Structure 1
Amino acid sequence: MTGEQIIEKLPYQDPFLFVDEILEVDEHQIVGNYTLKQDEYFYKGHFKENPITPGVILTEIMAQIGLVCLGMFILSEQINNNPVKVAMSSTSIDFYKSVLPGEKVVVISKKEYFRFNKLKCQVEMYNEEEKLVAKGQIAGMVI
């Protein structure tokens, strides 16, 4: 399954699709990116006249690329044309830098384990200057 095929089969759509491109993927890790649009819906209220990407959105970007896309690649033979169902079971993310409207982020996720359809990953997010934005663990079920 290619990066483009993975993105096509994701169970998300605009305005909640946070994957632009899969740069690398194999059974052990994935690298992908997303550029935050200047007019994303959540910037209207976070914060007044000083928009900053909410941590929950950064976590969602990390989960969509680092957990869901990697899980879909691992399960690509079983998925075929079936819809993908996802349930996040845990996250532990530390944030180091703000992400502003228009910035591109890169997510690197490395599989810790995959068993009984539960995937746990070590995930890192970097900005365009290759500075660490956030890192931690994300786990969930991909069915």
Structure 2
Amino acid sequence: MEEQNIIELLPYQRPFLFVDAIDTVSENEIRGHYTFRKDEYFYKGHFKDNPITPGVILTECMAQIGLVCFGIFLLKDELQNAKKPQVALTSNKIDFYLPVLPGEKVIVHSEKEVFRFNKLKCKVKMLNKKGELVARGVISGMLKA
């Protein structure tokens, strides 16, 4: 399955799509990126006169790339008819280290810990374009073709 096909199967659309591209993907890991545009809807109120990307949005970006895109790849044989998978986030534990400002590009890297019975658990980290650690943690979810 090609990287662009994975993005087309995502059950999201703008303004709630936080994946620009998948850079690499294999049976054990995925790497992708997203640039937070300066006109994203959530910057208008977070924070007044000093916008930063909310942690929940960073978590969502990590989940979209590191769990959902990865799960679509892992379910590629079951998704041959190109239907969109059903997705449910089951748990996450994320620690944040640096803010992400409007216009900033982030890279998400996810490594599979467990994929069994369509439940995927991954170690995920987010880096900024300088390679500095923005956030890291563990995300789990259920995927159904």
TM-score (norm. length: structure 2):
0.98
What whole-Å deviation, never above 9, does each CA across 1:75-110 have from its counterpart, x for those lacking one? Answer: 011012222110000000000000000000000000
Match of 1:118 in 2: 119
Match of 2:16 in 1: 16
Match of 2:107 in 1: 106
Match of 1:3 in 2: 3
Consecutive aligned runs of 4 or more in structure 1 exceeding 6 Å deviation:
none
- Counterpart amino acid of 1:132? L
Q: CA RMSD in A?
A: 0.5
Structure 2 residue ranges without an equivalent (≥5): none
Match of 1:92 in 2: 93
- Counterpart amino acid of 1:119? L
Match of 1:35 in 2: 35
Match of 1:73 in 2: 73
- Aligned-residue sequence identity (percent) comes to 62
- Counterpart amino acid of 1:131? E
User: 1:22 deviation in Å?
Assistant: 0.4
Quote the Cα distance in structure 2 between the aligned partners of 1:129 and 1:93.
Answer: 20
Match of 1:53 in 2: 53
User: 1:73 deviation in Å?
Assistant: 0.2
Equivalent pairs counted in the alignment come to: 143
What whole-Å deviation, never above 9, does each CA across 1:58-80 have from its counterpart, x for those lacking one? Answer: 00000000000000000011012
Quote the Cα distance in structure 1 between the aligned partners of 2:108 and 2:84.
Answer: 24
Structure 1 residue ranges without an equivalent (≥5): none
